[in-house]
Amino acid sequence: MKMHVQTIVDVEPEKAWQLIADQFGETGQWTSLLDSSFVQGKVQKGTQRICKIGDKELAEKITHLDCSQLTISYEITKGRPPFVDEGRNTWRVFPHSENKSRVTMAPSIQLKWWAIFMSPLMALGMKHSMKKVLEEFKHWAETGEAHPRKQAMIDHG
């Protein structure tokens, strides 16, 4: 199951890229999907990001990093739900117009053979979640502040 979502962000591509790639470990500061996150080491191919979601831990490994093409890809290496065989995502940043960027995400999830019947429901949930992530990223990039959803989590956490 593959998906593609995008948003226009009112910041130049270099800033959007810096927030996505250079601060790959700080994603948990701005998205409500995560309680927290951090990277183990320098952001480069092979680097692991650890994400905390409640009492669960998710590990993701960078599989592709191209700073000239403003592209970063990663795969889930630990903490996938039992019905997910593989999970990947790619972020890309493109110039859009003066001081604006087009930011895209292309998540891909492969379900285990016995969970294929869940595909329509998973696709719906994924689409909703990815739109939230992009909305929260846009807010973070443009204001430097956490989206109200994330701020509510911080305030009540």
pLDDT by position in tens, the chain (length 157): 999 999 999 999 999 999 999 999 999 999 999 999 999 889 999 999 999 999 999 999 999 999 999 999 999 999 999 999 999 999 999 999 989 999 999 999 999 999 999 999 999 999 999 999 999 999 999 999 999 999 999 898 6
Residue 115, amino acid? A
- The answer to whether the Cα torsion of 42, 48, 52, 57 is positive or negative is negative
- Euclidean distance between CA atoms 15 and 70, whole angstroms: 11
- Euclidean distance between CA atoms 92 and 41, whole angstroms: 22
pTM score, whole prediction: 0.94
**Token pair 């592209």 is at which residue?**
71
Domain ranges of the chain: 5-23+65-156
Residue 91, amino acid? W
DSSP class of 157: -
Q: What are phi and psi of 21, to 5 degrees?
A: -95, -55
- Euclidean distance between CA atoms 39 and 109, whole angstroms: 22
CA 77 to chain CA centroid, Å, is: 15
Which CATH number among 3.30.830.10, 3.30.530.20, 3.20.20.70, 3.30.499.10 corresponds to the domain 5-23+65-156?
A: 3.30.530.20
β-strand pairing of 71-78 with 84-97: antiparallel
The percent of the chain in helix, strand and coil, each rounded to the nearest 5, is 35, 40, 25
Contact 87, 76 (CB under 8 A): yes
Q: For residue 137, which of 31, 17, 35 has the smallest C-alpha distance? A: 31
